[in-house]
Amino acid sequence: MATFKDFRNQVKPNWCPGCGDFSVQAAIQRAAANVGLEPDDLAVISGIGCSGRISGYINAYGFHGIHGRSLPIAQGVKMANRDLTVIASGGDGDGFAIGMGHTIHAMRRNIDVTYIVMDNQIYGLTKGQTSPTSAEGFKTKSTPSGSIESSLSIMELALSSGCGFVAQSFSTDLKDLVAIIEQGIQHKGFSLINVFSPCVTFNKVNTYDWFKQNLVSLKDIENYDPHNRMMAMQTLMEHNGLVKGLIYQNPNRPSYQDSVRGYSSSALSKQDLTLPEEKFTELMAEFM
């Protein structure tokens, strides 16, 4: 059985020292081992940006695609081979700006993919511009007078998009993060895990300390019920989205694969492609 070390490859990440993404990488590796995966069973599909490089840093089938499109690629992989565990990953710009359309529709569609976003509220790789999760007033190279656009409430948006697994975590809480990723992988359907992963180089506001001071753990909220969507929405609004833990899960919603009529119960990629002659004759006759 594989251990988390088997999910390591020899590539040294090009992230800045202290970047939150290191722990996310480690958490994925640990969670994959903990749920009993072998590296060959896992596909990590990532977008573009600092965090998008993650697919190259994990010993698994990795696909580093184009900006904002990790989700459609990941959904395609899962549809082709349902035996694979598919993790999609990227940053807040990748998933909530250029790729936002895909994020919402992936949540609606509910193909069994675990989407892990490393949210640092800034564009890092392009050296410090505002992001959709940047707070109003946030000063960056592209918002020198402070951002005048409102910040996205991504967890609220996930709830309203029908996402069946909505969670938020913080990159330094390795133990909790590993547990949440395990749950996400095991959830039958799409799961969104937004991880606050501070950018130590360009974001001097949303720092490790800032999150430690501002994040509220759902464990500390008395009688919090992650199966209650209304309570989830209310809690998010009360805390301006700054909560961590499993926010909402609907274990009853069937995944897309389990709902598609006729969809192969085994990996589609292993199917024989031959069309029997009788079948072909029958198909032609329909046009006669």
Partner 1 sequence: MIEQLSWKVGGQQGEGIDSTGEIFAIALNRLGYYLYGYRHFSSRIKGGHTNNKIRVSTKEVRAVSDDLDMLIAFDQETIDVNAHELHSRGIIIADAKFKPVKPEYCQATLVIIPFTEIATELGTSLMKNMVAIGATSAALGIDTATYQAVVEEIFGRKGEKVVNNNMEAIQRGADAYMSSVGDSVQTLSLKKADGKNRMFMIGNDAIALGALAGGARLMAAYPITPASEIMEYLIKKLPEFGGTVVQTEDEIAAATMAIGSNYAGVRTLTASAGPGLSLMMEAIGLSGITETPLVIVDTQRGGPSTGLPTKQEQSDLLAMIYGTHGEIPKIVIAPSTVEEAFYDAIEAFNLAEEYQCPVILLSDLQLSLGKQSVEPLDYNKINIRRGKLNDQEIAEREDKSYYKRFEITDDGVSNRVIPGTKNGIFHVTGVEHDETGKPSEVPQNRKDQMEKRLRKIHNISFQNPIYKAAPHAEADLLLIGFNSTRGSIEEVMPRLEADGLKVNHAQIRLVHPFPADELKPMLQAAKKVIVIEHNATGQLASLVKMNVGYGEKIESLLKYDGNPFLPGDIHQQCKEMLANGHI
DSSP per-residue letters across 89-138 = EEEHHIIIIITHHHHHHHHHH--S-EEEEEE-SEETTTTSEE-TTSPTT-
Is 61 an interacting residue with respect to partner 1 (CB under 8 A)?
yes
H or E stretch covering 174: helix 174-186
d(CA 149, CA 135): 8
Q: Which of 28, 79, 97, 195 binds partner 1 (CB under 8 A)?
A: 79
Site for partner 1 in 86-125 (CB under 8 A): 101-102, 104-105, 109
d(CA 252, CA 124): 38
- Comparison of 72 and 198: residue with beta carbon closer to partner 1: 72
- Comparison of 105 and 219: residue with beta carbon closer to partner 1: 105
- Comparison of 115 and 170: residue with beta carbon closer to partner 1: 115
The minimum distance between CB 110 and partner 1, in angstroms, equals 12
Is 84 an interacting residue with respect to partner 1 (CB under 8 A)?
yes
Q: Which stretch binds partner 1 (CB under 8 A): 73-81, 121-129, 152-160, 245-253?
A: 73-81
Tokens encoding 196: 């606050």
Is 4 an interacting residue with respect to partner 1 (CB under 8 A)?
no
229 Cβ contact partners less than 8 Å away, ≥ 6 residues apart: 159, 248, 250
Site for partner 1 in 244-273 (CB under 8 A): 260-264, 267-271, 273
DSSP state of 251: T
d(CA 88, CA 72): 9
Q: Which of 3, 36, 83, 237 binds partner 1 (CB under 8 A)?
A: 83
Count, residues near partner 1 per rule CB under 8 A: 57
- Say if residues 20 and 120 touch (Cβ distance below 8 Å): yes
Q: What residues line the site for partner 1 (CB under 8 A)?
A: 9-11, 39-41, 43, 45, 55-56, 59-66, 69, 71-81, 83-84, 101-102, 104-105, 109, 260-264, 267-271, 273-275, 277, 280-281, 283-284, 287-288
